[in-house]
């Protein structure tokens, strides 16, 4: 039996399960629409409230769509069909004794297994089961209720109305929670993507300088001995100048792939910028670390086919060892590896140089000279001298060179 909803209301589906035809008639009487004389009500509203517009509300029963079943198995099938159609029941009124089929307890249990959201109302004058037994089988307890026979119309309608509102609220809440969960997943994905972009190089997808510094900091706190290697490609600018930046980018990607394959197990390979890479790895000492870096240089010293051109590549490496009981400050380790790399470049390229104290002394000496020269003019410490240039055969002066002496 279908009872159409009033305008502006949405029909809520109610399932009635009882083996007695008279009980179905009683339910129909509960949920049938009540004819309303709108003109009479409007006239009464004008008399009571003047010309103010007062809406006339249909009774709640007009918003129900009832489905009647005589046996429990029929009710279970109706619930299954309703779920498949995407139009589930909000409330089911179930009799307990329904011979010769399954009883109300079993009916409620099977319906609950199909639809965990439906509200169940057990309607009976006498039951072979206690409410606790039924609740354990067809609970949770907050979704199962009881009405005694014979019932009042108002009791059934009010129960159906209240539970329908609750069912609708639960659905809206579930939808809102699902939306929030979806947004949370999307936010987490965006956050993960943003974090990846912030810590990885866009060209090679390698960890970038930020990620390398974090890894270096973590290594420094770990307590074990490790090595930090700075790798720079030799004469990389020539590739960019002669073949273009696309060729340079392709070479960078190729070198990164080789470094990943050739680095010691567990090593972190990062692109620090331009043609410079950084590698962190555990080591037993400087000899072992130098051997690992020699292996990397050998792997990088190769001929590559880049955009149809043959490109010969090589690399230089600066190495710093963080001893267990030494200075493990991440910034200082990076500085030492960078100094060692500069020394490798000066030594003819394609070599490994491990940091030593003399590199620091050389830098300090150069800084003292640069600092002194900055004040040499003010102090009048510079003088101009001319040095003759003579021919080798007859010692004839053929010119002079000007020398600025400090």
The pLDDT of residue 48: 56
Helices and strands per DSSP (H, E), number in the chain: 12, 14
**322-374 tens-digit pLDDT:** 988 867 889 999 999 999 999 998 888 889 999 988 887 767 777 777 778 87
Stronger pLDDT, 365 or 135, i.e. the higher one? 135
Whether 355 and 321 have beta carbons less than 8 Å apart is answered as: yes
Whether 258 and 300 have beta carbons less than 8 Å apart is answered as: yes
What lies within 8 Å, CB to CB, of 187 at 6+ separation is none
Stronger pLDDT, 58 or 246, i.e. the higher one? 246
Tell me how far apart the alpha carbons of residues 282 and 218 are, in angstroms, rounded to a whole number. 12
Tell me how far apart the alpha carbons of residues 280 and 142 are, in angstroms, rounded to a whole number. 59
What lies within 8 Å, CB to CB, of 372 at 6+ separation is 406
The torsion region of residue 108 among left (phi > 0), alpha (psi -120 to 50) and beta comes to alpha
Tell me how far apart the alpha carbons of residues 298 and 302 are, in angstroms, rounded to a whole number. 8
The pLDDT of residue 7: 44
CB atoms within 10 A of CB 268: 19
The pLDDT of residue 364: 73
**230-245 tens-digit pLDDT:** 999 998 989 988 899 9
Whether 23 and 48 have beta carbons less than 8 Å apart is answered as: no
Residues facing 66 on adjacent strands: 14
What percent of the residues of the chain are helix, what percent strand, and what percent coil, each to the nearest 5? 50, 20, 30
| Residue with the two structure tokens 């990885």 | 200
| Residue with the two structure tokens 């090595």 | 227
In this model, does residue 3 exceed pLDDT 80?
no
CB atoms within 10 A of CB 4: 12
The pLDDT of residue 140: 86
- Joined together, the tokens standing for residue 123 give 């309607």
The pLDDT of residue 111: 95
The pLDDT of residue 33: 66
H/E element holding 366? Answer: helix 357-376
pTM: predicted TM-score of the whole model, two decimal places: 0.54
Q: What is the mean pLDDT of the chain?
A: 86
**372-391 tens-digit pLDDT:** 887 888 888 888 999 999 98
What lies within 8 Å, CB to CB, of 230 at 6+ separation is 272, 276, 277, 278, 317, 318, 319, 334, 337, 338, 340, 341
Q: At what angle do helices 209-222 and 153-199 cross, to 10 degrees?
A: 90
Determine the average pLDDT of the residues in 120-140: 81
CA distances from 204 to 60, 257, 296 (A): 66, 9, 18
Query: Can you give 60-75 as a three-state secondary structure string?
Result: HHHHEEEEEECCHHHH
Task: Note the residue count of the chain.
Answer: 406
Tell me how far apart the alpha carbons of residues 31 and 90 are, in angstroms, rounded to a whole number. 15
The pLDDT of residue 373: 83
In this model, does residue 54 exceed pLDDT 60?
no
Determine the average pLDDT of the residues in 50-73: 67
């Amino acid at each position: 039996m279908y009872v159409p909803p009033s305008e502006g209301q949405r029909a809520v589906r109610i399932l009635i399960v009882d083996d007695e035809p008279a009980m179905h008639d009683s339910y129909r009487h509960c949920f049938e629409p009540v004819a309303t004389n709108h003109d009479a009500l409007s006239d009464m509203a004008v008399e009571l409230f003047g010309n103010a517009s007062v809406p006339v509300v249909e009774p709640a029963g007009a918003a129900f769509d009832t489905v009647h079943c005589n046996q429990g198995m029929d009710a279970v099938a109706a619930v299954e069909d309703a779920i498949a159609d995407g139009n589930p029941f909000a409330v089911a009124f179930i009799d307990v004794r329904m011979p010769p089929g399954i009883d109300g307890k079993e009916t409620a249990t099977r319906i609950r297994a199909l639809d965990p959201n439906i509200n169940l109302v057990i309607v009976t004058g006498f039951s072979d089961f206690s409410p606790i037994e039924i609740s354990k089988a067809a609970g949770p307890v907050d979704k199962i209720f009881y009405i005694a026979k014979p019932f009042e119309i108002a009791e059934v309608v009010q129960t159906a109305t209240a539970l329908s509102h609750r069912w609708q609220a639960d659905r809206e809440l579930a939808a809102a929670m699902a939306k929030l969960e979806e947004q949370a997943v999307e936010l987490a994905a965006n956050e993960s993507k943003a974090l990846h972009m912030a810590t990885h190089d866009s060209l090679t997808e390698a960890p970038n300088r930020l990620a390398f510094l974090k890894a270096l900091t973590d290594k420094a706190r770990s307590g074990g001995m490790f090595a930090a290697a700075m790798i720079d490609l030799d004469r990389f600018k020539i590739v960019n100048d002669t073949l273009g930046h696309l060729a340079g980018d392709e070479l960078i990607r190729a070198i990164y792939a080789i470094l990943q394959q050739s680095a010691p197990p567990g090593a972190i390979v990062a692109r620090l910028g331009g043609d410079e890479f950084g590698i962190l790895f555990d080591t037993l000492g400087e000899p072992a670390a130098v051997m690992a870096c020699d292996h990397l240089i050998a792997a990088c010293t190769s001929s590559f086919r880049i955009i149809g051109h043959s490109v010969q590549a090589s690399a230089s490496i600066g190495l710093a060892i963080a001893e267990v009981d030494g200075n493990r400050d991440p910034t200082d380790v990076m500085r030492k590896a960078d100094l060692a790399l500069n020394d490798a470049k000066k030594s003819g390229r394609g070599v490994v140089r491990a940091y030593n104290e003399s590199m620091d002394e050389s830098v300090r000496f150069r800084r003292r000279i640069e600092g002194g020269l900055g004040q040499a003019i003010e102090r009048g410490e510079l003088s101009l001298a001319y040095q003759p240039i003579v021919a080798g055969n007859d010692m004839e002066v053929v010119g002079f060179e000007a020398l600025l002496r400090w």
